[in-house]
Structures are given as C-alpha cells and as structure tokens.
Amino acid sequence: MQLVFEVSEAAGAGSASTVRKVFDGVGGVIGRGSGCDWVIHDPSRLLSSHHALVGCREGRYFLTDISSNGIGMPGSGERLRKGQARLIEDGDVFELGMLLVRARLMEPAQPFDEQSISTGTPIPDDAFLGLDPLQALDLEHQRHNASDELAALSTGVGELGAWADRYAADREHVAIPCRVEPVREMPAVEPVAMATSPDEVFWIAFAAALGLDLGRLDSAAREALAIKVARLFRLEVERLQSSLRTCEQLQGELATLPADALRTAHNPLRSCIDTDAALTAILDMAQVAPLSGEQAIAQAHRALQVHQVALLSACRSALRNARAAFAPGHLLACAEFQEAAPRWSADGARWRAYLRHYRRLVADGQFDERPLGSDFARAYEEQVRLISTLHNDYPG
C-alpha cells in the first residue's frame, strides 16, 4: 500500500502548483528543513523545519504532529494531539500552516515487464532454433513410421528425468507409495522406582522418630525443626539432672533410703557432673555406657514418680501415727498418767501428767529435726520397695 500526499496552498493565498510525495511502505519526516524526507518550501514560514512524522506499521500509515504550530483537519475542525500518532485514511485532508495536504492510499502499479504470464508448460530456450522445414518433415515421417515398442527401446533412460526437471514446476508433486513396516508393539517397561537420596532417607527416619509428618515442610524448615528439637532435648536433659539432684537432697533431709534404692546409681543423668557429659553418655558417644539413652531417661523419670508417690504415702502414715500418739486412750496408757492418782482435782492431775510425758519425749530426743521420727521414713521406704518390685526391666 502506497501513501500519496498532494499539497497545494490554502484558499486565498493564491494558486500554486501541486506538489506530490509518495511513501511506499516506509515513513519519513515532513518539514521545510533540509534534513527532512519531504522538504516543502513555505515562504510564510508557518511550516516548522520538522513539522510532521509519517510512520508505517503493518501496512498502515500514521501521522504524528511534532511541530510548534500544530496540524489541523479543515473538514472536522479537529487538531492532532502533539506527539500522538493518528491513523491516515484515504481522503483525509491535513492543514500544515497555510498548506493543505490530501492523503490518498493506492495499490502500487505493477510494471508491464514484471507481470508474469502463466502458461501450461514453459517454452524452452532452443524452441525456435531448429525451424528448418525439411528437418521438421523428416522428424514427422520418422514419428509416424516408428512403433511404440521401437521408440521405447531407443528412448534414453535420462529423458524421463529431464522431462521431470523441466515440467515439474507446473505440476503437482505426488508422493510414491512405499511399503510400511508393521508397527511392533514395544514391551511395557516397568516403572523404575527412583532411588531415594540419603537426605530424604534421613528426613523420613527423623519424621518417624518424632511421630510427625514433615512432607509439607521444605528443606529449610526441616533443618530449623531439627535444630529446635536438639535444643529442646538438651534443655530436657539439663532440667532432668536438676530434678534428680533435688530429689536426692530431699531424701537426705527425710532420712530415707539413698538414691541407690531408686536404682539410679549407674544412670549417667545422676552420675555425670555436667550436661555435656550426660549427653555424651545418653547418645551412646561415650566409650563405656552402662545404660542406653532410652533406659537412662525412662529410669530417671520413674525415680521421680516413685519419689512423689512414696512421699504422699509417707505423709499419710505420719499423720495417722500423730493422731494415734495424741489419742486419749494412748495417753491414759502411758506411765505418767498411771502414776497420777486422782485426788482433789482429776483434771489438774492429768494435765501435770501430760506435761511430764512431753518432757520425757523431749529428753529422749524423739522430737528432732526429722519429721515425726522413724514413722515417716519407714512408710516412705516401704512404698518405694513396693513400687520398685513392679518395674524390673531396667536393672540398676
């Protein structure tokens, strides 16, 4: 598609010769400057040196205002927006200063010498070289006298190829059929299981040990979880050691059996000095480990449970013994109350007998720092013995 601009002076400015410019598939700059693609001489100097820009995209032409005076359209009174391309249609008239520019869109005229003439078969270059009439008559006579069988024997093998090369351009190509090998069914290949990476094997075992599903976590989240589990495990071991030491101190205050009775003598949580040594022994990193990590932790928690249950039972026994010691029947059976003969006032005699009984207990040392003497310790040890006989899986 060609764009043809026809330019003439505006009405009232005098007649002028028509100026034409053809844009054939390309754009350009319109103005009165010497560097423009279309230079228009304007004595009024209303036309800018670079007034308009013609663009061509996908076979369509566009006009863009790049001037200082603007571009108008006399037919509609519209003015082009500066810097914004407008589609050019056939018959549009643009006002550039004092000049009117009419746009026409035309198909390019094809030269006569470039027009192709379609023929059934191409004419060979040597078609008019052999125009001798005598030779033509001899060839015609030979063609009538010769049979098809003799002509087939005398025909060269290469004539078919030459004919095909000469007339192949105007004929349809047809593929020669050929034998097709039968399709052989390929044996079904059993899907091969992808080998699990070592990292994936570790995370599967780690999730199974925790009892959690880690499939929804990515690699970074799994690593953060493993670090958190290790930190919590160290804190648990540290607090468990502290609880065992507190339990041992309470047993010493209550004059009960030592820690060996709780079968924790060989437990690394009790025997190790610090947390690092206990972790080394529990995780089977020490050279000599009497108990495995599972056995050591289970035994330590069981010792704390035994201590709590035995302490409760001992308190109940001590309370019962205290009530029995101060019961009226028990006091009357004491020697102090037997020696108190009732004289003028029986109540006063019994009170004085109670005071003598209390002083004797104090003098005998039965009211020491240990709560309620041996009754508490005896009940505590008996409860520990009963509970310990129920758990013999982790020998100490």
At residue 337 the predicted structure's pLDDT band, cuts being 50, 70 and 90, is: low
d(CA 54, CA 65): 9
Full-model pTM: 0.41
| Mean pLDDT, range 267-295, rounded to an integer | 82
Whether 248 has a pLDDT exceeding 80, the answer reads yes
219/216 Cα distance (integer angstroms)? 10
Are the beta carbons of 101 and 5 closer than 8 angstroms?
A: yes
Is the per-residue pLDDT at 20 higher than 90? Answer: no
Q: Are 373 and 257 in contact (CB under 8 A)?
A: no
Confidence band, pLDDT 50/70/90 cuts, at residue 110 = low
Mean pLDDT of 139-151: 61
Q: What was the pLDDT predicted at 236?
A: 92
Decide which of 372 and 32 is more confident.
32
Angle at 323 between CA 320 and CA 326, to 5 degrees: 150
Q: Could you tell me the CA-to-CA distances from 256 to 247, 251, 262, 268, 385 in Å, in that order?
A: 11, 5, 11, 22, 12
| CA 285 – CA 266 distance, rounded (Å) | 16
Instruction: Read off the pLDDT of residues 47-81 as tens digits, 9 standing for 90 and up.
Output: 888 899 999 988 899 999 988 888 998 878 888 88
> Tens of pLDDT along 338-390?
665 555 456 677 777 777 777 777 777 665 545 455 677 777 778 778 877 77
pLDDT at 46 over 70: yes
User: So where are the chain's domains?
Assistant: 2-106, 199-233, 234-396
97 has pLDDT over 90? no
Mean pLDDT, the chain, as a whole number? 75
pLDDT band at 396 (very low <50, low <70, confident <90, very high): very low
| Cα–Cα distance list, 73 to 18, 56, 183, 242 (Å) | 19, 20, 72, 97
Residue whose token pair is 């020696």: 339
* Side chain identity, residue 48: S
Domain 2-106 -> CATH class: mainly beta
pLDDT surpassing 60 at residue 289: yes
Q: Give the separation between CA 42 and CA 54, rounded to whole angstroms.
A: 19
More confident residue, 292 or 344: 292
Burial of residue 359 (number of CB atoms within 10 Å: 0-12, 13-18, 19+): exposed
